Amino acid sequence: MKLFNGDDLGGPFDLIAGLPLHPLASHAPIVLVPLVAFAALAMAYWPSFSRKYGLPVLVLAVISQLSLFLAKASGESFQERVNKEVERHESYGEIAPFTFIPLLILLFIRYRMDKTGAGIGSPVVRRLVSILLALSAILALVYIFLTGHSGAESVWGWIAKN
């Protein structure tokens, strides 16, 4: 049995062990993105949190970014296979990985500012980075919620209507 077995229908991100990859791959960003976003909010306001947990948060952020692109790629393959129209979910899913990139960059900047010492960056720059970090965390949370909710509606919405 092949672990990854795509075919002409769905492509390389289609199936894993004979099952669709997208339902499995989509759970990682649903868990990791909010975790990283809430940690980013903590980093924005508590430099001590950033100094202590900044590196693990950055590692999780990179894993989150990769999981977002995997969920996007597997979603495209899954849509080809099921041939179901999921327009709203697809449009959110197209944008979600790119809303996380500013968060990843700002996390790195904030971590470097706090790790190196309080003398890095003027108070205005530090405040601006904190505000942008908080806004990018909120944006990532909103898009992961919209993407996940619209996907869940397309799969499970019929139960709520009955």
What single-letter amino acid sits at 38? Answer: F
Nearest to 39 by CA among 89, 91, 114: 114
- pLDDT per residue, tens digit, the chain (162 aa), is 444 454 555 566 767 777 777 888 888 999 999 999 999 999 999 988 998 999 999 999 999 999 999 888 888 877 776 666 678 888 888 898 999 999 999 999 999 888 866 567 788 888 999 999 999 999 999 999 999 988 888 877 767 776
Contact 97, 36 (CB under 8 A): no
Structural domain boundaries in the chain: 21-156
Q: Is the entire prediction scored with pTM above 0.75?
A: yes
